[in-house]
Amino acid sequence: MNIIRYPEKSSWTKLLQRPLFDLSSLYEKVRAILDDVKQNGDEALIKYEELFDHIKLNDLAVQPEELEKAGKELKPELKTAIQSALEHIKKFHEAQKFAPIRVETAPGVICEQRSVPISKVGLYIPGGSAPLFSTVLMLAAPAHIAGCESIILCTPPNKEGKINDAILFAAKLTGVNKIYKIGGSKAIAAMAYGTETIPKVDKIFGPGNQFVMAAKQLVALENVAIDMPAGPSEVAVIADDSCQPEFVAADLLSQAEHGPDSQVLLITPHAEIIQPVQIEIDRQLATLPRKDIAEKSLANSQIILVKNMAEAIEITNEYAPEHLIIATRNPREIAHQIQHAGSVFLGHYSTESAGDYASGTNHTLPTKGYAKAYSGLCLDSFMRKITYQELSADGLRHLGPIIEEMAQAEQLTAHKQAVSIRLATLSTENQ
> At a CB cut-off of 8 Å and minimum separation 6, what does 400 contact?
419, 420, 422, 423
Which CATH number does the domain housing residue 194 bear? 3.40.50.1980
Same domain, 288 and 410: no
Mean residue pLDDT of the chain comes to 95
Domain membership flag for residue 367:
no
CA–CA–CA angle 356, 357, 362 (5° rounding): 60
Domain membership flag for residue 381:
no
Domain count across the chain: 3
Same domain, 64 and 10: no
**What's the pLDDT tens digit per position in 67-108?**
989 889 899 999 999 999 999 999 999 999 999 999 999 999
DSSP category for residue 100: P
Same domain, 142 and 289: no
**What's the pLDDT tens digit per position in 100-132?**
999 999 999 999 999 999 999 999 999 866 789
**What's the pLDDT tens digit per position in 254-268?**
999 998 989 999 999
Same domain, 142 and 223: yes
209, 227, 245: which is the final residue of a domain?
227
Same domain, 35 and 169: yes
Of 93, 258, 323, 363, the catalytic one is 323
Strands 101-106 and 109-117: antiparallel
Same domain, 57 and 190: yes
Yes or no: say if 355 and 361 are a contact pair by the CB < 8 Å rule. Answer: yes
- pLDDT the model gives residue 427: 87
Same domain, 255 and 162: no
306, 340, 360: which is the final residue of a domain?
360
Q: Determine the average pLDDT of the residues in 355-379.
A: 95
Same domain, 173 and 252: no
Q: Is 291 exposed, middle or buried (0-12, 13-18, 19+ CB in 10 A)?
A: middle
Domain that holds residue 398: 392-429
Tell me, yes or no, if 322 is annotated catalytic.
Answer: yes
Residue 379 has pLDDT above 70, yes or no: yes
Alpha-carbon gap, residue 8 to 358, rounded angstroms: 39
Tell me, yes or no, if 311 is annotated catalytic.
Answer: no
Of 49, 280, 322, 352, the catalytic one is 322
